[in-house]
């Protein structure tokens, strides 16, 4: 048996292995460093179905690599888009912030998102949970 089971989906295996090698990110490492300037844990982001969700990651000048992931899927690595979903765009990649936007969110977008950073040879992650509220029926939105 190979690294990723029977290699039924070798491209998914390649993405996960590549990310782990690229960032050397062990699973479950929370973002916490001794100083207040490093990214802190993010809050949940709640949006209504059909709206846009902005996911922000505060970074500093010690960051050498950065990526956004949804579960085990890489959305962006630096400025490089890995997601084939046209609704996912990069908003900001600056020395202080790394943000993406998911346009026209759907209930299927709900779940955990991870900002993974490499700083001074120390991998760190920050997590946010996207909550998508069902828009309800049209009659309810009109107040009828």
CA angle 88, 66, 98 (to 5 degrees): 55
Per-residue pLDDT of the chain (144 residues; tens, 9 = 90+): 444 444 444 544 444 444 443 443 333 333 333 334 444 555 799 999 999 999 999 888 888 899 999 988 999 999 999 999 999 999 999 988 999 999 999 999 999 999 999 987 788 888 999 999 987 655 444 444
**What per-residue confidence (pLDDT) applies to 19?**
45
| Tokens found for residue 23 | 């960032």
Classify domain 10-134 at the CATH superfamily level: Immunoglobulins (2.60.40.10)
Whole-model pTM above 0.75? no
């Amino acid at each position: 048996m190979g690294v990723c089971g029977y290699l039924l989906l070798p491209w998914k295996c390649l993405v996960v292995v590549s990310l782990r090698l690229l960032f050397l990110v062990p699973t479950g490492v929370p973002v916490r460093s001794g100083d207040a300037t490093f990214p802190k844990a993010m809050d949940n982001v709640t949006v209504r179905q059909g709206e846009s969700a902005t996911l922000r990651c505060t970074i500093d000048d010690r960051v050498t690599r950065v990526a956004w992931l949804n579960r085990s899927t890489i959305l962006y690595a630096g400025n490089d888009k890995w997601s084939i979903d046209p609704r996912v765009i990069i908003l900001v990649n600056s020395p202080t912030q790394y943000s993406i936007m998911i346009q026209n969110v759907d209930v299927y977008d709900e779940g955990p998102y991870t900002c993974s950073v490499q700083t001074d040879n120390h991998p760190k992650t920050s997590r946010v949970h996207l909550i998508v509220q069902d828009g309800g029926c049209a009659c309810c939105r009109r107040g009828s």
